[in-house]
Structure formats: C-alpha cells, structure tokens
Chain A
Amino acid sequence: MHGRAPGAGSATMGQASAPTWFTTPAEARTRLAERGYVADDALAMSVFLAIRMGRPLLLEGAPGVGKTLLAQVLGEVFDTEVIRLQCYEGLDLAQAAYEWNYPRQLLELQARRAGDHPVATDGIFTETFLLRRPLLRAIDASNTRAPILLVDELDRSDEEFESFLLELLSDFQMTIPELGTVRARHRPVVVLTSNRTRDVHDALRRRCLYHWIDYPSFDKEVDIVVRRVPGLSDHVVRRIVAFTQRLRAEELAKLPGVAETVDWAEGLRALGVADLEPAVVSATLGLVLKHHDDIETVRKDLLVKLLAAGAP
C-alpha cells in the first residue's frame, strides 16, 4: 500500500503527470506553509492521510478559520484545478452534477422539423447539449490530473443531497442515463466544509477523514497575519492579534475568525497606522465584527479593557 496515490486504484492509469503528493505529514505542513497556509501538525496529518488514502477530508469549525482556504491552497500546492461546489438549500442534481440544455434541444428539434429530418430525437442527448456542473466537471477534469473538489458549506444543503454525495464519493462515477457512465480517471482530492448549522450525517462522516479546525493560538495567528499581510510592524501585528483573540473570549453574536483578523490587518496597513489607538479601532471595528450589536457592545463597554493590557 505504500506510495499509493489517488487515482492509482482506478482501472485506467493516467499517463499525464500526476501531482507530486506529500510523502510525510511534515512535508504537507511545510508545503502548505510555503503557500502561506499555517497548519498545525494535526491538520497536516489529516490532509496528508486524506490525500494519500484517497479519502474525502471533512473540515468543521467556526466561520473564517480557513476551511475553504485550505482547498484553494492545496490547488496551488499541486498546481491543479480547484472545482468549487457551493452548497445551498435546495441544491439538486441539476445544479450540482449536470443538466440537459433544454432550450437548445428544443430549438434543435424545431429546426429539424422544418427540414423534415427523419428521426426527431436522435442526437440531441449528446455532450453538445449537456451542461456540466461542478461534480461532473470534477470527474471530467480528472482525465488529465486529479483536481481538488471543494464542496463548500455542506451543512447548507438538504439531507437528500448528502446521500447523493455519499454515493458519488464512494466510487467517483456518475451515470447519465442517456449517455452512460462517466468515471474519474484520477480520483479528485475532495475537501468538504461545514459550519455546523446542521449536523452532517454519520454515514458521510465515516466515509471521510474528519478534522475540527479551532481558532489558532496567539503565535499561530501572528504567523498567519505576518504571512498574509506583509509590511505591518511586528508590534502592530501582535496588538491586532491580541485584540481579536480577546474578542473571542467575549460573549458576542459572531466571533471574529482568522479571515476577519487578516481583513482588519489589511485595513490597518492601508491606513498606515503605527499603533492601535482606540479611535482607529473604533472606526475600523466593522472589519472585525459583523453584527451591529456586537460593534456597539465593544465600542461602549469593552474597547478600553481589550486594548489595555497590550500583547499577552
């Protein structure tokens, strides 16, 4: 089993160059870091195993901790296409996998009628009339090299869709009645994310490797901000991170994620601030907090306290 890579198990081995997969968890960590994604050893292990074992990676965690970003960075690391399927309620096969281009087919039929074509429905259920949606595109893309398939915010879809996904993920093939079965040549690397607004079903969880992404530690978050927003002084970065980290201990409707910290740091860099003054913080709080109530609470009661103690 050593050295087994995604796609190696499928019937046809691709001749195109396969991405060079990670050989150790430590390598996963380094190569992600090179692209500016700071992962701890636990996440690096999950990513490494998911890729090497050809299993989907299910990421859960609060919004803005880098779940989606991980998939995008993986695409960069392996220099392969990232195909994103954004889930929403009511998402169905037609939007997720494929759909026939009915207006075009109808026009074709009309045109043929005019020309007294003998067999009306011949040749309208072909690839020309097929609209490819992300899941089918992921299978198609796998012809050359394994893509990254990002199924984003799975918790927003309906349970029916989850069971369809479960089926697809098990063998990466899809049957289109009019066309036949299409199969992934190189198994895509699948990343599923969930914000936990709904519990993802156990059957799907078991098919995946599971990882909970927590808010990062102070040092890790400093590291992330330094990498993502270069050009800020160390002092300011530490003050920014200390502030958001303390915000997370408060009772707020929506806690700031790492994404908010980074946004805020970018904002402050653009303003060219040398230190976190209460007035600047107050004016830019909208980059960190996304609820009016939260902003008011912090402005009124917490600002001085949160800024007081400096870096922890």
Chain B
Amino acid sequence: MSGPSVAHDVVGLARALRAAGVSVGIEQTESFARALELVDATSRREVFLAARATLVVRREDMPLFEAVFAAFWSGDPDAARARALRRERAGVARRPETAFAAYMAEKARRDDPEADVPEHAKSASAAERLQHKDFSRLTDDELASMQRLLRELRFEPARRVTRRFVAARRGKAFDPRRALRSSSRLGGVLPTLPRRRRRLKRRPIVVLADISGSMEIYSRILLQFFHGLTRLHALTETFVFGTRLTCITGQLRMRRVDEALDHASAAIVDFAGGTRIGDSLRAFNRLHAGRVLRRGAVVLLVSDGWETGDPAALEAEIARLRRRCHRLVWLNPLLGRATYRPLALGMSIALAHVDDFLPVHDLQSLKDLSDHLARLTRRARTTGRHARSGEAIVA
C-alpha cells in the first residue's frame, strides 16, 4: 500500500487504532476524512498531523498512535502489528498485579465474611462490647461480627461550601430569583422574603494507609473499612504503602468485600520490608497529589509512624502534603492504648505537621472520626503548628 492510499483508508486506520487500544469514535473518523480534504494528502507529515489532531483525544495515546500510523503508512496495516502492540500494552498494565498477589490475597481470603460465617453478635450487648474492642485483640468469631458491623457503619465525611445556591428557609442570603417569581405572581407584592444559602458538598477523602509489617494486625480490618468508605463515597481515593506506594481505588470499588480485597492485594507490589513513609509520601506528592487533592480533600494518613527511611525527607514531604490538602488527619491505631506515647521518630516529627492526631483501633474510634469530620464543615483549619491532639476523643 503506498502512502497516499492512507487517505482512502480512513476507516482502516481507525480500526487499526481501535485494535491497538486507542478508542476512536465514528465522529472522529468522519473528522479525519474531512480534514484530509483540507490538507496535502500526499505529504506524510500533513496526513500524520491531521490524523493525530482528529483521532487522538488524550496525550497518553500519542505514542501508540505514532506506532500504528507508522505501520499503516509503510503499508503494513494488517492487524498483526496492532495485536502485538496491544499485547505489549496489556502486559505492561498487568505485570504489577501478579507480583505480590499471594501474601495479601491469602489474608483476605481467610477473613471472607460473605459466605459461611455463622451469625454472631446478634445481641445488643455483644455489639456494644465490640464497640470498644481493640481491632488487634479480636477473636476469629469477633472478627466476623466486626466485619458485619463495619459494613453497617455510616461514615459521614466532611463537607465544604460550594458557590452554588439552594433555597433555604433559614438561609443567610436574599434569594432574588425566587423573590421575583413569587412577587410577579402576586402582582408586585413580596409576601415573604425568600432566602438561599450556599450548597454543601462532600469533601473528597484520600486515604494513605501504611500496610507494613508493624501495621499488619490492623491493615486487614482497616482495608475493609476503606472498602466501605469507597463504596459509600465515590470521591474516595485509597493508596497503600510499605516501602512503595500503590493506588488501590479501582480495586476497592468492587462490590464484594472479599473480591475487592483480593484484587487490591494483588495490585500491591511490596509487602515485606520496612516502612518508608517519607518516600511513599514523596511518590504521592509528585505523582498523584495534583489529581486527587482537588476540591479541598481531607487526607487520612494511617500509620503507626515507624519510619525506616530518612526522617528529614519525611518531614519535608508531610509538610508539603499538608499545604496541599484541606485537612491532614493522622490516624494511629496505637493511640488507642492508654500507655502509648508518640515517641517513634517518624511520629514525633509528623505531629508538628498534622491537623488532627486520632486513634483508629476500635469501632468507636471510627465513629468518632466520622463525627469529627462532620463537625469540620464550617470550621477553619487550625493555624497553629501543632495538631489538636485526639485526647478528648480518646477519653
């Protein structure tokens, strides 16, 4: 196939692109055909640029487009090349998922509650008792009950004021639109003064959870909690880290807890080893913060603060993180223990940079967290360097 014939095989190029995994709509194919009438269709460069301008709608697809176009122009439009490309692409995407599948998948499977766990904690007193039982001391039976209770937990995230208005009887502002409507109906009389207020919207929640060895007993149950959170609030993003950071939001969106956790664990690349909170936060700040920290997000950073990396790096990254989010909440399961003092090096550094320092060791602490976030809506963030400690809530 010679060069100019590309012009006559618009559909072929579109098809090859689709085969390679670039989504191309019919509308775009038509555009490309029209564009070809406006450019020099014998010039490779012009056809290439016209095709790219009309057929590619996101930057990520550009390299793939270039490969497919080159194959096409050189007269090798058959699907073999495209298939190879697609395989390559799929391979790249899939590789990390298979990496450390075993470890966490195994854990998740053990506590699968959906199929055959007998009913426990039916009595109110049993449920009551579980409210304050530390997650790390649950028996297997209690664990199953806890999972059920977690599913029923209604978590209320923080809200923020938007620019849009809703009608409200006790709103602070006058509502000219409704005033006109009602007064024009009554011939210029304004019977009541209609009011409006700014609409409230949920803030996005970004979870950064430490799943390293020292957090192991808690991560199992907390992942369940994050699953519930993700299902409840579409704006939740979840990342986990040990020595490296992994985004598991997609996996947690699955409906069934066990399936979601299976997939999430499969996606996590590292499990053993120490905790490099600083490095993980750095990866987050660089790669994800711009995308997920918009709309005044609340960041829940879950860790016991055992840092094996460079403390100075941790301090810099956590300070940067705090500047970019609406509120930075450090959740430490150890804070639930009466004797705990935040002496771990990472923890003492971080304390100067977080807005809240709260426990997450039992069900009650999760409820308290929910209440706490719900109260934040209209309150300005703390301006001091030191976090409001969670003592009031612990007590």
Q: Are A89 and B295 in touch, CB under 8 angstroms? A: yes
Contact segment of B30-38, B115-123, B214-222, B346-354: B30-38
Q: Are B188 and A100 in touch, CB under 8 angstroms? A: no
| Chain A, 187-240, CB within 8 A of any chain B CB | 196-198, 202, 205-212
Tell me if B56 counts as interface (CB < 8 A to partner A): yes
- Decide yes or no: A49 and B184 within 8 Å by CB, A25-B39, A89-B163 being known contacts: no
- Decide yes or no: A211 and B53 within 8 Å by CB, A49-B38, A92-B164, A197-B294 being known contacts: yes
User: Chain A residues with Cβ under 8 A from B376's Cβ?
Assistant: none
| Chain A, 40-62, CB within 8 A of any chain B CB | 41-42, 45-46, 48-50, 52-53, 55, 58, 60
Contact of B58 among A100, A207, A210 (CB under 8 A): A210
Q: Are B184 and A209 in touch, CB under 8 angstroms? A: no
Contact segment of B20-28, B97-105, B269-277: B20-28
Tell me if B74 counts as interface (CB < 8 A to partner A): no
How many chain A residues touch the partner (CB < 8 A)? 48
Chain B interface size band reads 35 or more
User: Chain A residues with Cβ under 8 A from B180's Cβ?
Assistant: 100, 102, 105-106, 109
Interface centre among A1, A48, A52, A109, by most chain B C-beta atoms within 10 angstroms, is: A109
Tell me if A121 counts as interface (CB < 8 A to partner B): yes
Q: How far is the CA of A120 from the CA of B187 in the complex (A)?
A: 5
Tell me if B256 counts as interface (CB < 8 A to partner A): no
Q: 1/0 per residue B359-388: CB within 8 Å of A?
A: 000000000000000000000000000000
Q: Are A202 and B57 in touch, CB under 8 angstroms? A: yes
Q: Are A46 and B53 in touch, CB under 8 angstroms? A: yes
Tell me if B45 counts as interface (CB < 8 A to partner A): yes
Q: Are A124 and B184 in touch, CB under 8 angstroms? A: yes
Q: Are A2 and B37 in touch, CB under 8 angstroms? A: yes
Q: Are A209 and B291 in touch, CB under 8 angstroms? A: no
- Decide yes or no: A209 and B189 within 8 Å by CB, A45-B39, A293-B316 being known contacts: no
Q: Are B25 and A120 in touch, CB under 8 angstroms? A: no
Q: How far is the CA of A197 from the CA of B289 in the complex (A)?
A: 9
Tell me if B223 counts as interface (CB < 8 A to partner A): no
Q: Are A60 and B59 in touch, CB under 8 angstroms? A: yes
Q: Are A25 and B34 in touch, CB under 8 angstroms? A: no
A91, closest chain B residue (CB): B163
Q: Are A90 and B162 in touch, CB under 8 angstroms? A: yes
Q: Are A109 and B184 in touch, CB under 8 angstroms? A: yes
User: Chain A residues with Cβ under 8 A from B52's Cβ?
Assistant: 42
Minimum Cβ distance to chain B for residue A203 (Å): 9
Q: Are B31 and A55 in touch, CB under 8 angstroms? A: yes
User: Chain B residues with Cβ under 8 A from A197's Cβ?
Assistant: 290-291, 294
User: Chain A residues with Cβ under 8 A from B177's Cβ?
Assistant: 100, 102
Tell me if A113 counts as interface (CB < 8 A to partner B): yes
Q: How far is the CA of A209 from the CA of B39 in the complex (A)?
A: 15
User: Chain A residues with Cβ under 8 A from B53's Cβ?
Assistant: 42, 45-46, 49-50, 209-211
Interface centre among B38, B39, B59, by most chain A C-beta atoms within 10 angstroms, is: B38
Q: How far is the CA of A251 from the CA of B283 in the complex (A)?
A: 11
Contact of B57 among A50, A89, A206, A251 (CB under 8 A): A206
User: Chain B residues with Cβ under 8 A from A55's Cβ?
Assistant: 31
User: Chain B residues with Cβ under 8 A from A48's Cβ?
Assistant: 38
Interface centre among A58, A202, A210, by most chain B C-beta atoms within 10 angstroms, is: A210
User: Chain A residues with Cβ under 8 A from B187's Cβ?
Assistant: 109, 113, 120
Q: How far is the CA of A58 from the CA of B34 in the complex (A)?
A: 18
Tell me if A253 counts as interface (CB < 8 A to partner B): yes
Q: How far is the CA of A55 from the CA of B34 in the complex (A)?
A: 12
- Decide yes or no: A251 and B183 within 8 Å by CB, A45-B46, A49-B38, A109-B188 being known contacts: no
| Chain B, 274-314, CB within 8 A of any chain A CB | 285-286, 290-291, 294-295
Tell me if B17 counts as interface (CB < 8 A to partner A): no
User: Chain B residues with Cβ under 8 A from A210's Cβ?
Assistant: 53, 56-58
Q: How far is the CA of A88 from the CA of B164 in the complex (A)?
A: 11
- Decide yes or no: A251 and B37 within 8 Å by CB, A41-B49, A209-B53, A210-B58 being known contacts: no
| Chain B, 241-258, CB within 8 A of any chain A CB | none
Minimum Cβ distance to chain B for residue A162 (Å): 14
Contact of A120 among B37, B57, B188 (CB under 8 A): B188
Tell me if B176 counts as interface (CB < 8 A to partner A): yes
Minimum Cβ distance to chain B for residue A91 (Å): 8
Tell me if B179 counts as interface (CB < 8 A to partner A): yes
Q: Are B291 and A198 in touch, CB under 8 angstroms? A: yes
User: Chain B residues with Cβ under 8 A from A1's Cβ?
Assistant: 34, 37-38
Q: Are B54 and A49 in touch, CB under 8 angstroms? A: yes
User: Chain A residues with Cβ under 8 A from B163's Cβ?
Assistant: 88-92
Minimum Cβ distance to chain B for residue A29 (Å): 11
Q: How far is the CA of A205 from the CA of B59 in the complex (A)?
A: 11
B294, closest chain A residue (CB): A197
B324, closest chain A residue (CB): A253
Q: Which residues of B contact A (CB under 8 A)?
A: 23, 25, 27-28, 31, 34-35, 37-39, 45-46, 49-50, 52-54, 56-59, 62, 162-164, 176-177, 179-180, 183-184, 187-190, 285-286, 290-291, 294-295, 316, 320
Give me 12 other A-B pairs in contact (C-beta within 8 A), A55-B31, A198-B291 excluded.
Answer: A1-B34, A45-B46, A45-B49, A45-B53, A49-B50, A58-B57, A106-B180, A109-B183, A109-B184, A197-B290, A210-B56, A253-B320
List 9 A-B pairs, minimum CB-CB distance, nearest first.
A90-B163, A102-B176, A113-B188, A205-B57, A45-B49, A109-B188, A120-B187, A46-B53, A212-B59
